[in-house]
């Protein structure tokens, strides 16, 4: 397909999506009507979901989604207006409707920009204040009831004050000490209990907490997607006695791979005297763990539009670290899945902009394809400008009668006529 056909295909797709969305909105409006007037109550129908799934020929899950949106429609006027206009899909609206009413305008704007996976992540993880709490605060501000000072909302990010130290004593015995914030401790304890329980199975019951911790470490290492990753990502920095440094005296690997390794690798200083390594320093990650956590928390997975991978992400330097001296600061760092990271360093995916800015604002990160056209941040249905085409046939909903599976039969192709 040439560039123009691809563009035409995508324009048609956007048009159809707009119609589909607007029609889904109509379906929600009808469901709303059915709920309000008890229109769903018919003999043998035990719930609105049952009724809608039957009448619309859709799955119970889809019917539940439509009804949930119908029930919350009043709370989200802006989201619903965008839905009616065909600008948001049913899946996007179903998620947006889970956010409290006061977020209506913001969640509406966000929903247009994010993929469904991203929006889902946002709605699940964001520590929303409930609408009830907002109402209570408003009443207190009116002077009805004194405002109680409530505990601050737990921060979704890492809590300052958590620290873990580790090291080896003179006998080579490892020492691990740590202080964890309450929420982080709960995660830790749950993981430890689970690991110890898993070890109990079929083994002697003398499993200690230390065994559990080692089990967790092994599991973590085992899940590294590419087994060679840890060693491949170790880069030696050669320090000559005269103070000059080189990454290696002789790179055998091609530039694109080297640039990629420098994005998110571990670096080890090797002291050289007369070109002979004499001293190996402590390994350091190019992206320090704390910065890495900030970036991972901000991005919640690979940032490439439409990519849903949230595990095994690598931190990429938008301005390359080794070739262009790109700083290891959050605005210059972005999470990418290994596949997209590789594509970028092969020159097949362009990434520019400031990673700290919200998608869509000027200066924010823009991804471009191999031809240099920007990738859209999410599905972009066009608002319908004409009524949808009249269906050629007439939709008749399923009968809903009991199905006798013995009555169902598919004819197999005749062996002699089959090619």
Smallest gap from residue 335 Cβ to Zn ion (A): 9
Helix (H, G, I), strand (E, B) or coil at 239: strand
Does position 307 interact with Zn ion (CB under 5 A)? The reply is yes
Neighbouring C-alpha atoms within 13 Å toward the C-beta of 369 = 8
Does position 315 interact with Zn ion (CB under 5 A)? The reply is no
Q: How many residues bind Zn ion (CB under 5 A)?
A: 8
DSSP string, 357-412: SPTTSTTB-EEE-TTSPBPPSS--PPPPSSPPPPPSS-------PPP-GGG---PP
Binding positions for Zn ion, 337-366, rule CB under 5 A: 337, 340
Phi/psi at 278 (nearest 5 deg)?
A: -120, -20
Nearer to Zn ion, 151 or 225 (CB): 225
Does position 313 interact with Zn ion (CB under 5 A)? The reply is no
Smallest gap from residue 270 Cβ to Zn ion (A): 23
Question: For Zn ion, which residue of 316, 334, 365, 378 counts as binding (CB under 5 A)?
Answer: 316
Nearer to Zn ion, 195 or 286 (CB): 286
Nearer to Zn ion, 87 or 299 (CB): 299
Q: How far apart are CA 72 and CA 49, in angstroms?
A: 15
Does position 303 interact with Zn ion (CB under 5 A)? The reply is no
Does position 263 interact with Zn ion (CB under 5 A)? The reply is yes
| Strand pairing report for 266-273 and 234-240 | parallel
Nearer to Zn ion, 218 or 376 (CB): 376
Nearer to Zn ion, 106 or 369 (CB): 369
How far lies 117's CA from each of 307, 310, 328, in Å? 9, 10, 28
Q: How far apart are CA 368 and CA 375, in angstroms?
A: 5
Smallest gap from residue 337 Cβ to Zn ion (A): 3
Smallest gap from residue 328 Cβ to Zn ion (A): 12
Nearer to Zn ion, 110 or 263 (CB): 263
Q: How far apart are CA 359 and CA 348, in angstroms?
A: 21
Smallest gap from residue 343 Cβ to Zn ion (A): 9
Question: For Zn ion, which residue of 28, 69, 110, 304 counts as binding (CB under 5 A)?
Answer: 304
- Which pair of structure tokens corresponds to residue 295? 């970036």
Nearer to Zn ion, 76 or 316 (CB): 316
The one segment of 100-108, 178-186, 200-208, 334-342 that binds Zn ion by CB under 5 A: 334-342
Which residues are CB-contacts of 188 (< 8 A; sequence separation ≥ 6)? 180
Which residues are CB-contacts of 321 (< 8 A; sequence separation ≥ 6)? 259, 262, 263, 286, 328
The one segment of 19-27, 262-270, 273-281, 368-376 that binds Zn ion by CB under 5 A: 262-270
Catalog residues that contact Zn ion under the rule CB under 5 A: 263, 302, 304, 307, 309, 316, 337, 340
């Amino acid at each position: 397909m040439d560039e123009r056909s691809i563009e035409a295909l995508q324009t048609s797709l956007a048009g159809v999506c707009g119609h589909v969305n607007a029609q889904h909105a109509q379906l929600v409006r009808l469901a709303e009507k059915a709920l309000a007037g008890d229109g769903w109550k018919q003999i043998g129908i035990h719930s609105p979901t049952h009724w809608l799934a039957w009448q619309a020929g859709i799955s119970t899950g889809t019917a539940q989604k439509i009804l949930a949106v119908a029930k919350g429609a009043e709370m989200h006027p802006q989201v619903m207006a965008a839905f009616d206009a065909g600008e948001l899909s049913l899946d996007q609206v179903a998620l947006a409707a889970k956010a409290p009413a006061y977020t209506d305008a913001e969640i509406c704007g966000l929903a247009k920009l994010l993929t469904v996976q991203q929006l889902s992540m946002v709605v699940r993880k964001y520590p929303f204040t409930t609408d009830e709490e907002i109402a209570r605060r408003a009443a207190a501000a009116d002077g009805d009831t004194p405002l109680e000072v409530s505990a601050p909302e737990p921060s979704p990010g890492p809590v300052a004050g958590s620290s873990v130290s580790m090291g080896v004593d003179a006998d080579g015995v490892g020492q691990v000490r740590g202080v964890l914030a309450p929420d982080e401790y709960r995660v830790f304890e749950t993981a430890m209990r689970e690991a110890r329980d898993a070890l109990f199975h079929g083994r002697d019951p003398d499993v200690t907490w230390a065994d559990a911790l080692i089990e967790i470490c092994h599991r973590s290492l085992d899940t590294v997607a590419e087994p060679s990753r840890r060693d491949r990502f170790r880069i030696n920095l050669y320090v000559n006695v005269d103070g000059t440094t080189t990454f290696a005296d002789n790179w055998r690997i091609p530039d694109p791979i080297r640039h990629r390794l420098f994005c998110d690798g571990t670096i080890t200083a090797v002291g050289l005297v007369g070109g002979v390594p004499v001293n190996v320093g402590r390994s350091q990650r190019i992206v320090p763990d704390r910065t890495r956590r900030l970036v991972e928390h901000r991005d919640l997975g690979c940032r490439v539009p439409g990519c849903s991978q949230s595990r095994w992400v690598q931190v990429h330097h938008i301005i390359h670290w080794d070739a262009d001296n790109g700083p290891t600061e959050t605005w210059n760092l972005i999470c990418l899945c290994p596949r997209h990271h590789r594509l970028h360093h092969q020159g097949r995916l362009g990434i520019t902009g400031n990673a700290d800015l919200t998608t869509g604002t000027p200066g924010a990160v823009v991804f471009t394809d191999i031809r240099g056209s920007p990738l859209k941040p999410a599905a972009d249905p066009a608002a319908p400008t004409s009524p949808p085409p009249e269906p050629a046939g007439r939709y008749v909903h399923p009968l809903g009668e009991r199905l006798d599976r013995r009555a169902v039969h598919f004819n197999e192709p005749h062996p002699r006529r089959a090619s």
